[in-house]
Chain A
Amino acid sequence: MEDEIDKDKLVGRREILGMLGKTGAAIAALLGGGEVAQAVVAQAQASETPAGAVTADPGPVPGYDWTKHKYAFGVDATRCIGCLRCAVAGKLENNVAFDPHHFRTWVERYGTVDGGETLIDSQNDEGNIKAAGRPDNYRFDDRYADANVTKAFFVPKLCNHCTRPACVQVCPTGATYKTEDGAVLIDHEYCIGCRYCIQACPYGARFFNEEKQVTDKCTWCYHRITKGLNPACVEVCPASARIFGDLKAPQSAIKDFIRDNRIQVLRPDTGNGPNVFYIGIDKEVL
């Protein structure tokens, strides 16, 4: 009867592979007696595990397994009301200078008057700075009040946390990198402020922190998402134009968003493989 096989005496595939590896290393050690072979044996012994157990490294964040998550972000431009609360929340959460030129996330307005050329403005535009009045306040002015607007919409933007990020490739010190769960982060201790990454980013997502002399950008609020919270901009968005979620979770808002909509990414031609997915944007949006 097959049921009566003593499972403890069976040798698993992993064990056989492990034994093969160790035997090979031992032979190599006997033949060459070199350090390399010994190191291989030591490594094989270190990784020896009970059959069937998976011992993936849970990563450097205590109490959080980064191999079990893969994050993505969705932006529904048809819902964005251009209130810029996301920009404020991103600054509050991450101690970004309150001025109109440094943003972790921002919103752009695309307007077409009389079917002509599409005009783009953001909160660093002079008219909008004037409308805001204070450096800690951001708002869009009503510049199209008397115009015949044929089309207008808002597009929230942020770091795309690309699959093949150009910014990581150009960093000379390894200060910026991609984590296992999908975020692109910056190590401010290793950043030398050379700003190559600012130039490399096709989305203009990075800015220079003059005070600390390092580059900064959106981290999807990595300190929040590793604790199970949403990024600050998603948390505050009153129109639910921002969607964040885990692609590896059995069910998540972002999986539904990607499944149910005809999604787009910004500048796919650059080959960076962005992970922020948009709906409701026109071809003018870059």
Chain B
Amino acid sequence: MPKHIARFLGLLILVIVGAVGLRYLFVAHSYYKYGSYRADSVTEISALPVQVAPSSYYQSFYPDIFATWTGGVHKAVQCVVCHGPLKVGATPKLDKPQNITELCTTCHAAFPGRPKSQPQVVVLKHAGRQVCLNCHNPHSPLLTSEGKSIVEDESEAAPGSDDFNMADASAVAAAPAKKKAPVGNVVAGQKKSLLCLTCHGLGNVIRGNNAGPNLGAQTAEHIALELRKFQSGKRPSVVMGPVANGLSSDEINDLAAYFATSATNKR
């Protein structure tokens, strides 16, 4: 072999070995494993710690409050929303929110753009300068902090319209104080509920046409009470009046039981 060819081949081999060696040194070994990126970075990202805990984490630490919360209309609002990020420990101490009115109006201040189904208030008209917690239990806002209804007597509530109305909604809580929760047959209620679902949906399990409020996070007491109010004409409604008139008392209890047990507002 001529000398210049041998030299050239030697040099070529040296360059190839050098290139392979440098690549080995400087390119992460997992680089082309799944594509032109470092596969290890996926492992690293997936190993990051979870900060926002599911609310069920706090159930064993705050059983009473947890029960109030799951039984009320605020059960779609997770602990972290008001109490801040995950606290881990023997008994994780959740922060008490500082500015209560600011916190509540984050979701409940009335302004254009918020869907009709969201309860909204103009604070000055609704409560003046009072703090929300003077009347409302934050974990179940239709109750007071003592667990009583925020309106003493059902008859005090103004007759509502089909739109959401705070006074109307608050009247609901009078029911559990006066009589026991309606006991109904869930299976029978489910059969009967097909008509309701068209307009109301069922949380996010079944989606209604938004004509009526979402029944997903509703209690049995509320549904039974409101249906009876439609029946008696205490709450006048062109749509719900005839519907409620066609229901027997047992059927109302069945429907209430069904919506309370199977309904969920979480997807």
Residues in A lying within 8 Å of B, measured CB to CB: 57, 59-62, 64, 78-85, 89, 92-94, 109-111, 137, 139-140, 142, 144-145, 147, 149, 152-154, 174-180, 185, 187-190, 219, 222-224, 226-227, 229, 232, 234-236, 238-240, 243-245, 253, 256, 260-261
**A261:B207 contact, CB within 8 angstroms:** yes
Q: For chain B, residues 243 to 263, give those with C-beta under 8 angstroms from any C-beta of chain A.
A: none
Are A82 and B114 in touch, CB under 8 angstroms? yes
Interface residues of B (CB under 8 A from A): 28, 30-31, 33-43, 45-52, 54, 76-78, 80-81, 84-85, 102, 106-107, 109, 111-115, 117-118, 203-204, 207, 210, 216, 265-267
Q: Is the Cβ of B107 less than 8 Å from the Cβ of A83?
A: yes
Main secondary structure of the interface of B (DSSP, over half): loop
Q: Are the C-beta atoms of A223 and B45 separated by less than 8 Å?
A: yes
Given the contacts A189-B41, A223-B45, A154 and B81 also touching, CB distance less than 8 Å? no
Question: Is A179 touching B267 in the complex (CB atoms < 8 A)?
Answer: no
A187 contacts B37, CB within 8 Å? yes
A174 touches B36 (CB 8 A): yes
Rounded to whole Å, the gap between the CB of B125 and the closest CB of chain A is: 12
Known pairs A174-B36, A232-B51; A222 contacts B204 (CB<8 A): no
Provide the main secondary structure of the chain A interface: loop
Q: Which residues of A contact B78 (CB under 8 A)?
A: 235-236, 238
CA separation between A188 and B59, bound complex, in Å? 36
Q: Is the beta-carbon distance between B51 and A81 smaller than 8 angstroms? A: no
Q: Decide if A223 touches B49 in the complex (CB within 8 Å).
A: yes
Residue of B nearest to A231 (CB): B52
Ordered by A's residue number, 5 sampled pairs between the chains whose C-beta atoms are within 8 Å are A83-B106, A89-B52, A92-B85, A240-B76, A260-B207
Given A189-B41, A229-B54, A256-B207: 12 more A-B contacts, CB < 8 Å: A59-B34, A60-B34, A149-B112, A174-B37, A177-B37, A185-B41, A187-B37, A229-B50, A238-B81, A240-B76, A240-B216, A243-B267
Which residues from B are CB-within-8-Å of A149? 112-113
Beyond A81-B115, A111-B112, A240-B76, whether A185 also contacts B45 by CB under 8 A is yes
> In the complex, what residues of A have CB within 8 A of residue B81's CB?
85, 89, 236, 238
Determine the residue in chain A with the shortest Cβ distance to B86: A92
CB distance B106 to A240 under 8 Å? Answer: no
Contacts of A92 in B (CB 8 A): 51-52, 80, 84-85
Residues of chain B with a CB closer than 8 A to A232's CB: 51-52
Known: A111-B112, A149-B112. A81 touches B46 (CB 8 A): no
Query: Once the chains bind, are A223 and B47 in contact (CB under 8 Å)?
Result: yes
**A57 CA / B42 CA spacing, docked (Å):** 14
When distances are taken between beta carbons in the complex, the residues of chain B under 8 Å from A89 are 52, 80-81
| Residue of A with least CB distance to B79 | A236
Nearest chain B residue, comparing its CB with the CB of A279? B207
Shortest B48–chain A CB gap in Å is: 4
Task: Enumerate chain B residues within 8 angstroms of A188, measured Cβ to Cβ.
Answer: 41
Do the beta carbons of A226 and B46 come within 8 Å of each other? yes
- Contact between chains at B43 and A60 (CB < 8 Å): yes
